Structure 1
């Protein structure tokens, strides 16, 4: 019988032989996940694991110690499994677990975001998930909601103790998000209670606790607003922490510096292609204007003319909804991927508790919620003035709005996450790699255009190059800001002059880079590595290469780092070449393990898959 958790007993030096096989490792994975969920109940809930929905852990020093003890115990457990004797797929899981554990240690002991990032104490999204997702009868979910609220006052008292040197930008964002999400407790909870048969006396107790929760959250938000922290921690992460976080979170084959260098070169290439297309299209749109001598100015003027075609503010969300069936039809007609029509995609207004970071995002069901809904969250323009809304809509014009929908929905994030949730390996879904997820969405944009989407119009290709510069310049911006000293003025100039973005888009991206770090590099990093893998796989397969086969094989491994998927897809052993993440039976004894095994950051309360942002 396999050991439940492979930690050493005193005097024990190795695991029994029967536990060294893949079946034993798979059993270990199950118990690792359950132990992890106990420490991360919020993450468990949004992942679809509902055993701990009623638990809210107070983030005190004792909890941090438990987290570190957990990582040490399970790193010891992993050491008992001979990684080179595991299948390629189990070996991926092995590295993902190891990366998570080492990344968690780094997060708690070195990054210490809880001391300077108040947004890490925003728990409202989990409560909203319990309230809105029909994974169990409403009365049961509301009961979990009620018990979970019990610790909210203690939670925010402890948060005040933990916050020592908050970043001003993150402090302001946290206060806005918390106040924006109060309706979950003030209105939504009460409205939901009315739909149940819970006894009136019990409902009264539940509503009283909701009021106490609202007071605790309001008080914390007010405390944040009143902090005299103009000289708080700089929002810039610093080069050393940045490199470590990039290694942990992105899990790339290259360093942050190397990816930055590649992005700079990619920008030069894209500019050359855009200049060629501008020369081709100039007479069609700009016949009455003399072409400027500055080539980037030529591109900017043509893009400006094309950007005038856009929807009205009130039609922004409905335009997105209308385009999705067209994308589905194109993917099916070109046989690029097999899509699953049984998995719903719901376009909705971005919830208030998520606002302030990205204008469009996807919230996917957790890996345990196989039949859950995927939400396409769309930022509202209702409160924007005319000039700001016009600037935003010129950025998301009739061309780029289609590319946005490819990226966020079909065959981008939505499609990839449906595949990830079908993969039998829970580890690859739970500990999913953001660079693979974002990289796929960027790759999908180009793949669609290469297949003829947009009737091969040079206008669409030009606007995609502009869009692709977002991913490229995201990397340049993020590295230059957090590992360097790029100013706001320099950032806006990069985004508007060299990436041809509207002023509003550039301003929003500056705000985003001040409240996040490293995530912006995931788009280009993943895209670059997927493209390189496809070329290597095409060479390997020769005449047998088919784009659909590559796409589906790549997605079958779940949201693992591209470098691990690359190892599996380029494996010389033919028995491994066709494996998907569910093939756990066969052993590979002589396959060389990857040389680099970087730690993967996953903070204790992280919720992967919640919002894939563009």
Structure 2
């Protein structure tokens, strides 16, 4: 799961478009986009900073009723302005930009008027991340960044006061997450900021003033945490969205050519296909790992027994991060050897321990720089196993055994998220870069796993069996998410799906259940994006015939930025 601001538009204040008309529709629309983005950053500085635009780092937006009214007004004004353009008169690149901006605006209105997560999700209120990003940045001298932090700190009490006013009948799960993440985020102000002040060249008076403001901010955070702990909530909201809200969110977030019901059916069919392939390999590997042990009549149990033996091959808890770091150069060398894709060697990637303020949802993620900060580091965040019991750590490491750890690194780093997001930042379309579609981004990472193995990476029966097990994860993510939020799938049914159908370890299944209670739709992005990319590659190959080149397909596909796959299809195959 990537911890980047791909879905952040649900909180954005949007801008009105250019009023001038042009005889050339594309020229007018290009001006519209420029004005739109300029105003977007003014009203959502956190999102601007995550994209590498730091002019408004000193602003902290307070989510109150007045702000939401302005959000709605701007969104509706922009939809009216978009209606002045006929998308059929725009070139392919602008056509997709038009559709992405339109989807964003409609999604924004949906989030405020119908989704209303600002009422029931207390974890949406957490200032630690934006402050940490400023502290960790290298785009301006430390003194400049600290002065922006100083201005930003002034609004922290109002920020949390508004949060308390907004929240009503929150879910239990999101309340617990908010307490944990805000508590973890205190280290940004109690440890990281004082250290930065000591290193800075600010005057003693400036340092003292920032320290005072930080102390006030810390009190506001702790007060919010205490308020959540003591909140009387006799009728908490169910974390499940229900079919009506879920279907709408799926449409806006995934932007798929398929409905949730259609995607659910595709996932179930793919799960059954994977089971058939896994059985063939498990039967073949049985003598190697289980010798003369009698085979069970239950075929899934047979697969599980082989997987369990292979899963005993894993690293040690204290070497988990080192094992990840060691594999990245090997992946890069394979891609170069096979000439699968160009990867810019000048874009740095650093593996780091997952920051405390990001903990609680997923164990590995990518934090990528935005299009304005293209030369900044990309961080591969790795969850720490310190403090885990021996049993928990062993379960986790069996899940991320020596084979699956390689697939994880393909997914998160090379040629998965890290590589795709470098390409996205190079896209000539700023809209596609900043309005990245999560299903395309996650779908590419899942596709990259299959593509690497198809081309012979670490080829063995064990690797293919573990790949199919891993691919079951993204497939069952879709079944789980749609099942839980629209079909009232319970925890025990979910655990049976994950442990018996997807062969996951108990600790991994428990983590996935937690994730489905805290997020909605995002778990569908992996399989939906993957399946549509595979369909596109098949059709593109048919279209080009003998002229088809895998490297050419990859380069062309990634060149369109993080646009929804259905729009990339229009540019590559349908040729609107």
- TM norm structure 2: 0.96
Matched, 1:395 2:393: no
Query: Out of 371, 375, 379, which is 1:371 matched to?
Result: 375
1:364 deviates by 0.4
Q: What per-residue deviation string (whole Å, max 9, x for no partner) do you get for residues 193-216 of structure 1?
A: 111221101110110000000000
1:491 corresponding residue in structure 2: 494
- Tell me the SS of whatever aligns to 2:189: helix
Query: Out of 179, 185, 189, which is 2:193 matched to?
Result: 189
Q: What per-residue deviation string (whole Å, max 9, x for no partner) do you get for residues 256-313 of structure 1?
A: 1110111000000000000011111111111131111111000000000000000000
1:228 deviates by 2.6
**C-alpha distance 400-230 of structure 1, shift in aligned 2 (>3 A):** farther
- Counterpart CA distance in 2 for 1:196 and 1:393 is 41
1:230 deviates by 5.3
Contact 1:49 1:368 in 2 (8 A): yes
- Counterpart CA distance in 1 for 2:487 and 2:157 is 39
- Counterpart CA distance in 2 for 1:562 and 1:25 is 22
Q: What per-residue deviation string (whole Å, max 9, x for no partner) do you get for residues 44-96 of structure 1?
A: 11111112100011111100011011111111221222211111011111111
- Counterpart CA distance in 2 for 1:366 and 1:338 is 20
Matched, 1:424 2:434: no
Alignment of 1:171-570 (within 5 A): 171-229=175-233, 231-454=235-458, 456-570=459-573
1:594 corresponding residue in structure 2: none
1:187 deviates by 1.5
1:229 deviates by 2.4
Matched, 1:102 2:131: no
- Tell me the SS of whatever aligns to 2:516: helix
Q: What per-residue deviation string (whole Å, max 9, x for no partner) do you get for residues 326-371 of structure 1?
A: 0000011011100111000010000000000000000100111111
- Tell me the SS of whatever aligns to 1:182: helix
- Counterpart CA distance in 1 for 2:27 and 2:21 is 13
Following superposition, which runs of at least 4 residues in structure 1 exceed 3 angstroms of deviation? 4-8
1:584 corresponding residue in structure 2: none
1:218 deviates by 0.8
1:7 deviates by 6.0
- Tell me the SS of whatever aligns to 2:380: strand
Contact 2:157 2:217 in 1 (8 A): yes
2:21 corresponding residue in structure 1: 16
- Counterpart CA distance in 1 for 2:178 and 2:377 is 27
**C-alpha distance 486-87 of structure 1, shift in aligned 2 (>3 A):** same
- Counterpart CA distance in 2 for 1:186 and 1:341 is 36
RMSD: 1.1
Contact 2:16 2:77 in 1 (8 A): no
The answer to which of 431-440 and 65-74 deviates more is 65-74
**C-alpha distance 78-507 of structure 1, shift in aligned 2 (>3 A):** same
- Tell me the SS of whatever aligns to 1:253: coil
- Tell me the SS of whatever aligns to 2:444: helix
1:485 deviates by 1.1
- Counterpart CA distance in 1 for 2:122 and 2:21 is 46
- Counterpart CA distance in 2 for 1:39 and 1:234 is 32
1:5 deviates by 5.6
- Counterpart CA distance in 2 for 1:352 and 1:262 is 37
- Counterpart CA distance in 1 for 2:22 and 2:325 is 55
1:6 deviates by 4.3
- Tell me the SS of whatever aligns to 1:500: coil
Contact 2:18 2:35 in 1 (8 A): no
- Tell me the SS of whatever aligns to 2:381: strand
Contact 1:7 1:74 in 2 (8 A): no
Matched, 1:144 2:148: yes
Q: What per-residue deviation string (whole Å, max 9, x for no partner) do you get for residues 395-418 of structure 1?
A: 000000000000000000000000
**Relative contact order, higher structure (CA 8 A, sep 6+):** 1
Q: What per-residue deviation string (whole Å, max 9, x for no partner) do you get for residues 215-246 of structure 1?
A: 00111011111123253000111111000000
- Counterpart CA distance in 1 for 2:440 and 2:309 is 34
Q: Unaligned regions of 5+ residues in structure 1, if any?
A: 9-14, 573-590, 592-614
- Tell me the SS of whatever aligns to 2:323: helix
- Tell me the SS of whatever aligns to 1:376: strand
- Counterpart CA distance in 1 for 2:127 and 2:103 is 25
